[in-house]
Structure 1
Amino acid sequence: MTPAWKHWVYSLVMSILATQYQRQEISTPYSPAPVAPYSQAIKIGETLYVTGTIGTSPITGRLVAHDTANQARRALQNSLAIVQAAGMTFDNVVKVTIFITNIDDLPGVNAVYATSFRKPYPARSSVEVTKLPSSAKVMIEMIAVGTGRSTIVY
């Protein structure tokens, strides 16, 4: 192979990889807009990194409830809207991290969580924290991986 040919092949491969692994911002009006310098989600290749969401309304920007379980329900709805904006579903979610201000409230969150995901459940970590934005009681972030095919979301 001549050096020019090798360079052409190398350039082609690098161009394909750069396109495939370019950072793409994912956003939707069906989840609260960011209130600081961050994105609702970033997609690289087929991997989606969803920001931590709390139980705020995408319309008012306020917490929808004072109890942890209902905040978790809204946070999951917010996350689902972002995941769907990327052409995925909760079946694509492989990792979830739950930040909670009182670990004793985790059973209520688990009950809501179990209605949102089906087996096999995503890998998950639950972490008790001192404080969350907007005095929320729970924040949920996730990672999803696409299949490389178009996904129709109903």
Structure 2
Amino acid sequence: MPNRAIIKTDKAPAAAGTYSQAVKVNNTVYLSGQIGIDPQSQEMVCGSFADEVRQVFRNLKAVCEAANGTLQHIVKLNLYITDSDNFACVNEVMTEFFQEPYPARATVAVKELPLGAQFEAEGVMVP
């Protein structure tokens, strides 16, 4: 694939499996799922659910920046939560990182996420 580039940054957690932090094809960037891992310690952040959500969005932001974009360039955002009672908290924290117009979004409640995470976000960006 001639117009394909792998995006990698040490400002977000290293990939913990057989995937890239993001892949750019032509002018579209596919952002892999991020959980609340601190990129310095490579461990889950401690604290509240809101703290975990903030770390996820900081990680996603770092990958966007490595691809020469910002969170505002995300056109589609997929969110995964282990407890749908936390939906309102996700919306509240999102306003700290995103402004209108917001990206298209899906939020899915799941049984569990890697490393005991309670929240994960992935997206598609067009810088």
Q: TM-score, normalised by structure 2?
A: 0.96
Q: How many residues align structurally?
A: 127
Q: Displacement, 1:66?
A: 4.3
RMSD: 1.0
Larger helix fraction of residues? 1
Shift of 1:29: 0.1
Note the residue ranges of structure 1 that are not aligned, 5 or more in a row: 1-17, 147-154
Tell me the amino acid that sits aligned with residue 121 of structure 1.
Answer: Y
Correspondence for 2:9: 28
Alpha-carbon distance in structure 2 between the residues aligned to 1:67 and 1:125:
23
Pick from 67, 83, 87 the counterpart of residue 102 of structure 1. Answer: 83
| SS of residue in 1 equivalent to 2:38 | coil
Structure with the bigger percentage of strand: 2
Aligned partner of 1:50 in structure 2 is: 31
Q: Decide which structure has the larger Cα Rg and report it.
A: 1
How far does residue 67 in structure 1 lie from its aligned partner after superposition?
2.6
Q: CA deviation at 1:122?
A: 0.3
- Post-superposition Cα deviations, 1:96-117, rounded to whole Å, max 9, x if no partner, equal 0110000101111111111111
**CA distance in structure 2 between the aligned counterparts of 1:28 and 1:62, rounded to whole angstroms:** 17
CA distance in 1: counterparts of 2:96 and 2:47, whole angstroms: 20
Aligned to 2:65: 84
% same residue: 35
Q: Does 1:75 align with 2:23?
A: no
d(CA) in 2 for partners of 1:124, 1:69: 19
Higher relative contact order (CA 8 A, sep 6+): 2
